[in-house]
Amino acid sequence: MTPNPILSFDGVTKVFGSGSTETRALDSITFRVMPGELVAVMGPSGCGKSTLLHVAGGLERPTAGQVVTCGRNLGDISLAALSTMRRCDVGYVFQKLNLIPSLTAVENVMLPLELDGMNRRQARTQALQALDEVGLPGVHDRYPDDFSGGQQQRIAIARAIAGTRKVLLADEPTGSLDTLAADSVIELLATLARERGTAVVLVTHEPRFTAWADRVVYLRDGVVVDEAVMHAHTTAADLDDDVAASAQVRS
């Protein structure tokens, strides 16, 4: 039986401001993300990529349309239920890591679990498991400054997946990393999707990261202008050619 989408947008529009200052960040967006799928979202700066993530995770309410995340229609639930969903079901990874330098790696991962009311022993067990999953076993009592940039991002990812989170929203998570560390982090996200069943939505400017994606969604001016299902033979150059060709047809 085909599983239900873990994240769905149906005709979603997001408008900021009004009148002469109105900005339509998203315009009638419709797409689905399945459990265990890595979807890369690409497009020029200002096209609505980050807004899409904010709406998906309930950080912003849509102006129109319907967003369903982890089985909940985000337009129908209370603010308290929305807050619970963000804490328990959705993990966020950003370019800015926001690790607390005075806490160890495991304490950084434990923190949101403890804030949710989990007892310290259980939080530590789940945090250690998450650090193992991201390839950082046995280093849990070191502080963030003791790690490289790529390792710090892995700690941030461990914090985002610890517990029972089903969706991981990553907004340019490798922007401050060198090529080797960046590729390692994206490969990790793909592995988490495949082995853990986590749905990953990755906003990126890097065409080479599409090699790890199941699908690529292209945005321009808040509109989905193209979507590509990735295959083993598909390359970033192929995708760029496809997008250019379809844009030429539409024009």
Residue 24 has a pLDDT of 92
pLDDT over threshold 50, residue 237? no
What is the number of alpha carbons within 13 Å of residue 96 lying toward its C-beta? 1
Question: For residue range 98-151, what is the model confidence (pLDDT) as tens digits?
Answer: 899 999 999 999 998 998 889 999 999 999 999 998 989 888 899 999 999 899
From the list 211, 191, 215, the residue with the least C-alpha distance to 201 is 215
pLDDT over threshold 70, residue 46? yes
Residue 1 has a pLDDT of 59
Handedness of CA 71, 73, 74, 77 (dihedral sign): negative
Q: Give the pairing type, strands 64-69 and 199-203.
A: unpaired
Q: Which residue has the higher pLDDT, 250 or 244?
A: 244
Residue 43 has a pLDDT of 92
The pTM of the full predicted model, rounded to 2 decimals, is 0.84
Per-domain residue ranges for the chain? 99-163
Q: Listing from the earlier edge strand, what are the strands of the sheet with 199-203?
A: 90-94, 167-171, 199-203, 38-42, 215-220, 223-229
pLDDT over threshold 60, residue 240? no
Which structure tokens are listed for 239? Answer: 């995708």
pLDDT over threshold 80, residue 238? no
Which of the four pLDDT bands, split at 50, 70 and 90, describes residue 230?
confident
Q: Which residue has the higher pLDDT, 237 or 217?
A: 217
Average pLDDT over residues 163-178: 88
Residue 235 has a pLDDT of 43
Average pLDDT over residues 142-165: 91
Residue 32 has a pLDDT of 94
Q: Are 142 and 103 in contact (CB under 8 A)?
A: no
pLDDT over threshold 70, residue 168? yes
Q: Which residue has the higher pLDDT, 88 or 220?
A: 220
Residue 231 has a pLDDT of 57
Q: Which residue has the higher pLDDT, 249 or 52?
A: 52
